Amino acid sequence: MKPSGRIVNLASTVGRLDKYSDALQDRFRNPASVADVTKLMGEFADAVRRGKEGEEGWPSAAYAVSKAGVISMTRILAEELERDKSTVEVTCCCPGWVVTDMTKGRGYKTVDEGAQTPVLLALEGSGGRPGTFWTDEKIAEW
C-alpha cells in the first residue's frame, strides 16, 4: 500500500453498542490491541456455541456483533498505525440500507447512493480523523 493509502472498512449502524452490557461496550470502545478485538469476537462465538450470549450481555444478532467488531478493529488499527507513524488512514462506514440481493431488494438507497460515503472516504479521506465511523458522508455516533 502506498504511504498515503486509505483503508475503508464497511460496517453498519447495526454495530452500534446500545444493546450491549456496559462491560462489553467498554471492551469494544477501548481495546489495547487488534488482538483484544479478535479475542472479543472469539468470546462472542464461544458464548453462542454455549447458548449464553444473552446472559453474557451480547445482542442476539451475529451480523450486528460482526459490525461492532469491524468498527472496534478500525479504531484500534488506526491508533496502532498512528503510533507507528504510518500515513495510511483507516476509517469505516455504513453505506446505509441499500437495495441489493443481500437486502432482498429492500432498502432506501440505490447502489450509487450507498457508495457515496465509502468513495468519499477512499478518495478524500476523513479530514484528519482516522479510526472514525461514518454514515451519510459524516461522522456517526457509535
Query: Is residue 108 among the annotated active site residues?
Result: no
Cα(95)–Cα(37) distance, rounded to whole angstroms? 23
State how far the Cα of 87 lies from the Cα of 89, in Å rounded to an integer: 6
Q: In terms of C-beta density within 10 A (0-12 exposed, 13-18 middle, 19 or more buried), how is residue 113 classed?
A: middle
Distance CA 101, CA 99 (A): 7
Helix, strand, coil proportions of the chain in percent (round to 5)? 45, 15, 40
Which residues lie closer than 8 Å to 140 by C-beta, 6 or more apart?
Answer: 13, 94, 133, 134
Catalytic choice (26, 52, 63, 87): 63
Q: Which residues are catalytic?
A: 63
